[in-house]
Amino acid sequence: MSKLPTNTLPNESKDGFNFKKFINKFTLIIVLIIFIIIFSIMEPAFISQRNVFNIILQISILSPIAIGMTLIILTGGIDLSVGSVLSFSQAVCAGMLLGGTNMYLCVLVAIIIGLGLGLANGLMIAYLKLPPFIATLGMMSMARGFQQMYTMGSTIYNMPEKFRYLGTAYWLGVPAPIFLVIVVFIIFILIMKYTIFGRSVYAVGGNPQAARISGISVNKITVQVYTIGGLLVALAGVLQLIRLNAHESSAGMNMELDAIACVVIGGSSMSGGRGSVAMTAVGTLIYGVIINGLNIAGVSPFVQKSVIGALIIGAVTLDSLVRNRGKK
Amino acid sequence: MEQQQIVLELKAISKEFPGVKALNDVSLTLYQGEVLGLVGENGAGKSTLVKIINGVYTRDAGDILINGKVVEMNNPAEAIMVHKIAYVSQENTLCPDLTVAENIVLGQWTGGAAINWKQIYDFAQKALDALGLKVKPTDILADISPADRQLVEIARAVSQDSKILLLDEPTSWLTESEKKYLFDRIKHLKTNQDVGIIFISHFLDEVLKICDRIQVMREGISVGVFPAEELTKEMLIEQMLGQKKREIMYDENIADRVKEKVVLEVRGLTQEGMVDNVSFELHEGEILGITGLLGCGKTEIGRMISGSQIVDGGQILVDGEEQKKLTSKKCAKLGIGYISKDRKEEGIIPFLSITKNITLASLKSALGKFKHLSLHKEKEIAKKMIEVLDVRPRDPEREIIYLSGGNQQKAIIAKWIQADSKILVIDEPTRGIDIGAKFEIYNLLREQAKGGKAVVFISSELTEVLEVTDRFLVLRSGKVTGEYTHYEIKDEHGLLAILSV
């Protein structure tokens, strides 16, 4: 008889157990606060109202993508195609807008593209049994190819006035996109906590065999998370189009890495089953705070990339150390 | 008998795992050129002992001596490369994607940085010839039959020029003629090459045939070593089982509980290589046992009737209606709950709470006003289950992975009770579970049966098969060889005798 897990357990006493959970949840927030304090000291303007708005605006496009990525990573998968899908759906939306099409129709088409490509990812992974890395890697190239074919590499700019409303609107003195970010986060925090779908995602990621035996359709859940991911990516693309007033050929480039960074910094496990949208929210905030803070401190964008990289490694290492305490 | 040299000696070996003392002061002597049989029930410690010899486990206390010298034996590499101990087991220790030749030389090739393939293939061919194996060195391991794979493992062990060969259940997958080959090879090895061989097997007739001496283990201790020629099967069984304390009693009142109605019927169930034309009926209120030794197909039957395994032939009827292409989802809807013997791989969602594990198969019943998942309702459901089944610790929010095996099992059973299952298919219900929790689970299943549910009780633990089930089927090589009750087979000795045929 060999496979008993007990010799790798952390302290089992009730007090010790609660303490550890407490530390895990609040470590992230403490880290966030520390960074805020550091940057505020370096540059007092950091915590001005204007800059706080700036930070949240800067992460407003990344947020929906990070949320979708969280669901996907919770099932133990990954989506490398988000940047490319964003670029293609955004390109078509922009092209149609320029051609005078009704703006709601343009947005709808973008959403359908996102849903469609997300669905394709999900089907490949669930039914063709392709590893998520491979399937979405392929989609990444395909979607980028579609975008290039559609735009011929050119920028599409000068969007209609009506369309740009959301980009510059202020509601209750707060930029509109900030409300959107908060609303989308809240919606998905609620979905993951209070719906059968959300619970099933956790079950599939935690132990797909046990989930299947309990009557959950693992394939269906898999297809659903990638499809939802595609939807959120399309929405992010539309939001970006509104804010930038242009579709650039390089739209979405490397965005998948930033999205994964937010999820990982937020502490979700890459092997699935552990993490939450709420934690990703904090992770995304930390990401935004660091980028913004380094900007204000005058640090070059190149160094910023290395800092984010170091943060990802640090976050995963910390998580791994805590998890593997006591194992050989 | 002339005095042979002692090639391996174990002195007072002890090994403890959390919650269970697997080996308690066990000693063993293996002579050059002998075959030493190692027998005992499941959990007696045979595999553990052999894994300690092989460096897979480290002993807590005691010494290992090879050729009279004390050795460390900290890891398998040391066992293989330094002491040339060859080990063949049930578990797949080879690489399915590599060729037969590569697998044979795995871990022991010292030919330098550049690979001389001709040398390797010649070496492999010699090893295969020594066993009379027909497979080619260039065959991919995954492509050859399971029996041949087993023989390749043995060829690999034989090719290592080892003086100590450990065989852990080597004949489970072999046909009669393949077994004959194996025994011939074993005889050759011991007579002509002075190899000391430890032979673990549940098949007592084989053990009596091939071994020179037989060592019996029971509950972590060594009961004794006997010359094979002085033993009969009955004597062996007696030594293996000792005096069984009977604490769980057979339910004499099954007539009240077991109804006429057939809730599950299986006709001619077949799965290629594993299950052969099995038929049985399960009645409402009944606890039907299915037992047999390693490889008999009982696990596969359990998986087939609960949608976890493809059915090659035969019919499954639930409440009289035939069900084709069963899936787990369909079974859950039909009210069939499956509790796998691999709790960790297929039973629990490790980092979800006890509550979330308990409600997993019945989430619809925890919905609140707005069709949302009511965490409050869920907690009430879980609390009740935890109370009734006495799951410890009584903390609904605790992640289930931190519970002991017994409590995890209770939670998994709770999941299906909560889902209102009519049929519970449970495989090795009390494996790795302490005695107190064992009884709780037996009582739990009996309660369910009294309440009109039916249980398919798949187990290799003799006592529970005899005492907890109403009647049981014995399986061997995928076929049903008999149906018995506690009345026909009075005790564990009788059952073991039938199983070890």
Residue B92: the pLDDT is 67
Could you tell me the sign of the dihedral formed by the alpha carbons of B348, B353, B356, B359, in that order? Answer: positive
Distance CA B255, CA A8 (A): 47
* A220 in reach of chain B (CB within 8 A): no
Question: Residue B457: how many CB atoms within 10 A of its CB?
Answer: 26
Edge to edge, the sheet with strand B221-227 lists B85-88, B164-168, B196-200, B35-39, B213-218, B221-227
Residue of B nearest to A10 (CA): B402
Backbone φ and ψ for B15, nearest 5 degrees, come out as: -150, 130
Eight-state DSSP code of residue A163: G
Give the pLDDT band (50/70/90) at residue B500: confident
Helix axes A103-126, A132-151, angle to 10 degrees: 150
Q: What's the CA dihedral at B95, B101, B104, B108 to 10 degrees?
A: -100
A326 close contact with B: CB closer than 8 A: no
Q: Would the CB atoms of A17 and B398 count as touching at under 8 Å?
A: yes
- 3-state class of A29 per DSSP? helix
What pLDDT sits at residue A225?
Answer: 98
Out of A7, A12, A198, the one facing B402 most closely (by C-beta) is A12
Would you say B159 and B130 are in contact if contact means Cβ atoms under 8 Å apart?
Answer: yes
Question: What are the chain A neighbours of B328 within 8 Å (beta carbons)?
Answer: 212-215
Q: Which of A7, A214, A273 sits opposite B332 (nearest CB)?
A: A214
User: Residue B250: CA atoms inside 13 Å, Cβ hemisphere, count?
Assistant: 19
Question: What is the rounded average pLDDT of the residues B222-241?
Answer: 90
Quickly count: other Cβ atoms within 10 Å of residue A75's Cβ.
26
Q: How far apart are CA A321 and CA B300, in angstroms?
A: 38
Whole-Å CA distances, B298 to A83, B181, B276, B294: 50, 28, 11, 9
The runs of H, that is alpha helices, within A245-270 are: 255-265
Residue B213 is given by DSSP the state: E
Q: What is the DSSP string of A164-175?
A: GHHHH-EETTEE
Count of residues making up chain A? 328
Kindly report, residue by residue over B394-439, the tens digit of the pLDDT. 899 999 988 888 899 999 999 999 999 999 999 999 887 877 788 8
Using a CB–CB cutoff of 8 Å, tell me whether B196 touches chain A: no
Which residues, in sequence order, are bridge partners of residue B316? B266
Q: Tell me, yes or no, if A13 comes closer than 8 A to chain B by beta carbon.
A: no
| Set of chain B residues whose Cβ sits within 8 Å of the Cβ of A200 | 363
Residue B193 reports pLDDT greater than 80:
no
* pLDDT at residue B278 tops 90: yes
Q: Which tens digit of pLDDT belongs to each residue from B438-491?
A: 888 999 999 999 999 999 999 998 889 998 999 999 999 899 999 998 888 888
pTM of the model: 0.83
Q: For strand B196-200 and strand B164-168, is the pairing parallel, antiparallel, or unpaired?
A: parallel
B347 chain-A contacts, CB cut-off 8 A: 210, 213
CATH architecture of residue range(s) B245-335+421-433+445-501 = 3-Layer(aba) Sandwich (3.40)
* Cβ-based contacts of A199 with chain B (< 8 Å): 356, 360, 363, 373
Confidence of residue B4 (pLDDT cuts 50, 70, 90): confident
Q: What is the pLDDT of residue B237?
A: 85
Q: Which residues of A touch B393 (CB under 8 A)?
A: 14
Residues 6+ apart with CB under 8 A from A213: B306, B308, B328, B338, B340, B346, B347
User: How big is chain A by its Cα radius of gyration, in Å?
Assistant: 21
**How many whole angstroms separate alpha carbon A203 and alpha carbon B363?**
12
- Say if residue B487 is exposed, middle or buried (CB neighbours under 10 Å; 0-12, 13-18, 19+): exposed
Q: Do B349 and A217 touch (CB under 8 A)?
A: no
Average of pLDDT values for B112-117? 81
- Selecting from A1, A198, A217 the residue whose C-beta is nearest the C-beta of B20 gives A1
CB B491 within 8 A of CB B466: yes
B207's tokens: 């053990």
Contacts of residue A204, Cβ cutoff 8 Å, sequence gap at least 6: A75, A76, A211, A216, A218, A221, A222, A272
Is the confidence at residue B242, as pLDDT, over 70? yes
How open is the CA angle A239-A243-A246, to the nearest 5 degrees? 95
Q: Using an 8 Å Cβ cutoff, are B120 and B105 in contact? A: yes
pLDDT at res. A144:
97
Structure tokens at A255: 């965005």
Give the start-to-end residue ranges of the domains of chain B.
6-241, 245-335+421-433+445-501, 348-420
Whether the ipTM is more than 0.95: the answer is no
Q: What is the pLDDT of residue A15?
A: 37
CATH topology match: B6-241 vs B245-335+421-433+445-501: yes
Residue B393: DSSP 8-state: S
pLDDT digits (tens, 9 = 90+) for B337-347: 999 999 989 99
pLDDT < 50 positions in chain A: 1-17, 328
* pLDDT tens digits for range B84-100: 888 888 666 788 899 99
Residue found by looking up tokens 């490694």 in the block = A313
Best of A9, A20, A213 to mutate (most B CBs within 10 Å, chain B): A213
- The widest CA-to-CA distance across chain B, in whole angstroms, is 84
Average pLDDT over residues B247-262: 83
The more confidently predicted of residues B270 and B234 is: B270
A213/B349 Cβ within 8 A = no
**Which pLDDT score, from 0 to 100, does residue A6 have?**
36
- Asked if residue B288 lies in contact with residue B429, where contact means CB atoms within 8 angstroms, the answer is no
The class of domain B6-241 in CATH terms is alpha beta
Among chain B residues, the shortest Cα distance to A218 is held by B329
How far B346 CA sits from the closest chain A CA (Å)?
4
- Token pair belonging to B94: 């080879």
CA distance linking residue B292 with residue B275, whole number of Å? 12
Classified as helix, coil or strand, B432 is: coil
Chain B within 8 Å of A204 (Cβ-Cβ)?
A: no
CB contact at 8 A, B448 and B455: yes
pLDDT (mean) for B139-165:
83
CB proximity B422 to A under 8 Å? no
> B67 in helix, strand or coil?
coil
Task: State the pLDDT at residue B166.
Answer: 92
Give the CA distances from residue B328 to residues A210, B269, B311, B331, B344, in Å, rounded to whole numbers and listed in that order: 10, 18, 13, 5, 18
Q: Which two tokens stand for residue A45?
A: 């303007």
Whether the per-residue pLDDT at B275 is higher than 60: the answer is yes
- CA closest to B330 among chain A residues: A215
Nearest CA distance, B370 vs chain A (angstrom):
10
A211 touching B (Cβ < 8 Å): yes
Domains of chain A as residue ranges with CATH: 49-315 (1.10.3470)
- Interface probe, candidates B58, B59, B352, chain A, greatest A C-beta count within 10 A: B352
| Residues of chain B contacting A209 with CB distance shorter than 8 Å | 345-346
Give dist(CA B501, CA B494) in Å, integer.
Answer: 11
- The owner of tokens 């929906």 is A64
CA distance B136 to chain A (A): 32
List beta partners, residue B222: B217
pLDDT of residue A22: 59
Facing residue for B344 by CB, picked from A3, A198, A211: A3
